[in-house]
């Protein structure tokens, strides 16, 4: 059982498993608000029409339950659970399972992730770490057949990207069922029934699904995956039906037997057999000993709001909170949301945020992560030194190196129910379609999270995440991540924003843009979501940008010393903004097929 709550403490007591919210809030500085009363003739109001829309981005609005996910069919499954009397946690379980059918490239029963759960009646916020975990049978020599870091250049890193050796023990089933056991209302069998039917009956293959299958060559290297996603050596065609009978059987075993239906019995046996036949590491002992864990949300005060996200082994939350702490010094609102100054400041604080996660973030079961120091006033002041409102930090001060690529095909969903309970959940397989391996007879597509460890640890010639002491590989360890499910509470401690995003290292950048769009610029959630985004990592010199940023601003950023480089779209935030007890939901338009489902 999870411990009962106490009042929120300023030091975010790391012995607790949740944060309790009340009507107090710490502030770094006082904010004064002035009420401007406009006296207008009565007929001025009558001249305004409802269809004179203020923005082209229209949130979905209601006062009951709401689900925002990267696939509208999965959002509708969550809505079905809410309409049956389930709460936000029940709906989150259903959506998490459904995304394995509707968004198989990122739906993550074979992967893992992080979740925030807010229980309104108890005014408590919980964090759940169900990150995938390396097998106890894995060791560096058996993975690469060379000594690391000495023989790094001779190592074949395709081994931890594709195939059976690339996978960690999956944590999603443990995570979803753990929160259901603690907070759910409906029986698991009732929650999974519509998802199992969805898997049996199949879904229409979308244009996006056809193209994503066709752009993932690792699926062709695995006979089981090929049999699911291809027909006559061609990707399943748009408009065809994709049925998932093996996945339905696996879900039925979980429905009937809970955790034992996945981590023990026939499914665990199939994992062990497939891994043994293909020189993988995971065995039945790894499966039965995996356990999701409640941990501590991390948070800061930002302009009279409390911003909470997930802590280690995720580093994305640290990037977000570091960036916000640095922005607190500036009156961002006066620079406008699309000004050169705003983009410059976002770039500078993101670079420092990514720097902050690049050394000491890792699995806290193996490494003493100094979170208090990383977010301390002293550390923020240290990072602030050198920031210039008119000039980019010199790239020559940062040594460039090739950091391991971070998969961008994660997915996120946000849910609130009519009682005010809420879930912010992000999970992943790593790369699109993960390792490309499907465990025969299960329908479970596996992750490639072995790719996310720091295999150059001990190499004194480099700096950065590739050599991070916090993220060095060890058997049984969970790798660092940038996933950052996020919730924001106002100065009355009322939940006001639920958000998160896929995108690898772009995740905190996307969330930062949404949070500042809402808090600093007063935008509706649609407008905040569709603001152009940028990415400034460390130790890279490049400032990556989305194509919707104007050429004039790019020229100004170049003059300030930024080395701009065009990027593809960044992230896909799924958000719910709560104002005056009204929900405003918005699914990012950057990726197709997402959508918000609401209770009437």
Phi, psi torsion values for 362, nearest 5 degrees: -170, -170
Which run of H or E residues covers position 545?
strand 542-545
Tell me whether residue 159 is one of the annotated catalytic residues: no
**Which candidate, 172, 194, 92, places its Cα nearest to that of 414?**
92
Q: Do residues 505 and 450 touch, judged by C-beta distance below 8 A?
A: no
In 259-342 the beta strands, taken as DSSP E runs, fall at 293-295, 297-302, 305-310
Residue with tokens 């961008």: 408
Tokens found for residue 284: 């039945």
Contact 562, 543 (CB under 8 A): yes
Q: Would you give the distance in Å from CA 574 to the centre of its chain?
A: 10
CB within 8 Å of 306: residues ≥ 6 apart: 21, 25, 299, 300, 488, 489, 493
- Residues ≥6 apart with Cβ < 8 Å to 381: none
Is there a contact between 129 and 447 (Cβ–Cβ < 8 Å)? Answer: no
Q: Is-contact 99 415, C-beta < 8 A?
A: no
Note whether 562 and 545 are within 8 A (CB). no
| CB-CB contact of 343 with 533 (8 Å) | no
Catalytic residue among 410, 438, 482, 516: 410
Closest alpha carbon to 465 in 477, 476, 479, 478:
479
CB 356 within 8 A of CB 379: yes
Give the residue numbers marked as catalytic.
410
């Amino acid at each position: 059982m999870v411990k009962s709550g106490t009042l929120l403490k300023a030091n975010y007591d790391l012995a607790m498993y949740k944060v309790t919210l009340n009507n107090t809030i710490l502030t770094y500085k006082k904010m004064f608000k002035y009420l401007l009363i406009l006296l207008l003739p009565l007929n001025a109001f009558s001249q305004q029409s409802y269809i004179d829309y203020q923005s082209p981005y229209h949130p979905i609005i209601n006062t009951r339950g709401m689900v925002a996910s990267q696939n509208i069919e999965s959002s509708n499954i969550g809505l079905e659970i809410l309409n049956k009397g389930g709460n936000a946690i029940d709906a989150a379980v259903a959506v998490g399972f459904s995304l394995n059918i509707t968004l198989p490239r990122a739906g993550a029963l074979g992967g893992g992730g992080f979740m925030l759960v807010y229980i309104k009646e108890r005014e408590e916020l919980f964090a759940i770490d169900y990150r995938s975990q390396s097998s106890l049978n894995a060791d560096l020599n058996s993975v690469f057949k060379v000594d690391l870091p000495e023989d790094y250049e001779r190592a074949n890193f395709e081994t931890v990207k594709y195939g059976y050796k690339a996978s960690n023990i999956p944590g999603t089933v443990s995570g979803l069922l753990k929160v259901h056991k603690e907070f759910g209302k409906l029986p698991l069998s009732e929650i999974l029934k519509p998802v199992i039917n969805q898997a049996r009956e199949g879904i229409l293959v979308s244009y996006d699904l056809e193209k994503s299958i066709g752009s993932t060559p690792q699926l062709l290297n695995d006979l089981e995956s090929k049999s699911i996603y291809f027909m006559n050596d061609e990707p399943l065609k748009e408009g065809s039906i994709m049925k998932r009978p093996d996945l339905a059987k696996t879900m039925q075993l979980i429905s009937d037997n809970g955790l034992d239906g996945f981590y023990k019995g026939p499914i665990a046996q199939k994992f062990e057999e497939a891994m043994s036949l293909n020189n993988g590491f995971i065995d039945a002992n790894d499966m039965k000993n995996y356990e999701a864990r409640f941990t501590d949300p991390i948070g800061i005060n930002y302009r009279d709001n409390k911003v909470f996200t997930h802590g280690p082994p995720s580093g994305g939350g640290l990037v977000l909170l570091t960036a916000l702490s640095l922005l607190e010094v500036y009156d961002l609102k006066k620079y406008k949301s699309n000004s050169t100054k705003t983009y410059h400041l976002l770039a500078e604080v993101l670079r420092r945020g990514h720097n902050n996660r690049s050394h000491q973030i890792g699995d806290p079961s193996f490494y003493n992560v100094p979170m208090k120091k990383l977010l301390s006033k002293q550390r923020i002041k240290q990072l602030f030194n050198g920031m210039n409102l008119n000039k980019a930090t010199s790239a020559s001060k940062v040594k460039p190196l090739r950091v391991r690529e971070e998969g961008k095909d994660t997915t996120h969903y946000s849910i609130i129910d009519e009682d005010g309970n809420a879930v912010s959940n992000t999970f992943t397989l790593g790369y699109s379609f993960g390792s490309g391996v499907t465990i025969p007879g299960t329908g479970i597509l596996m992750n490639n999270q072995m790719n996310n460890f720091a295999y150059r640890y001990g190499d004194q010639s480099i700096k950065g995440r590739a050599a991070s002491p916090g993220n060095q590989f060890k058997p049984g360890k969970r790798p660092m991540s940038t996933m950052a499910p996020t919730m924001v509470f106002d100065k009355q401690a009322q939940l006001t924003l639920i958000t998160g995003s896929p995108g690898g290292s772009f995740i905190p950048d996307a969330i930062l843009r949404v949070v500042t769009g809402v808090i600093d610029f007063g935008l509706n959630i649609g407008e905040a979501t569709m603001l152009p985004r940028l990415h400034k990592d460390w130790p890279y010199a490049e400032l990556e940008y989305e194509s919707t940023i104007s050429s004039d601003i790019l020229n100004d950023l170049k003059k300030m010393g930024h080395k701009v480089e065009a990027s593809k779209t960044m992230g896909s935030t799924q958000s719910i903004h709560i104002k005056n007890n009204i929900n405003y939901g918005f699914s990012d338009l950057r990726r197709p097929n997402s959508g918000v489902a609401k209770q009437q």
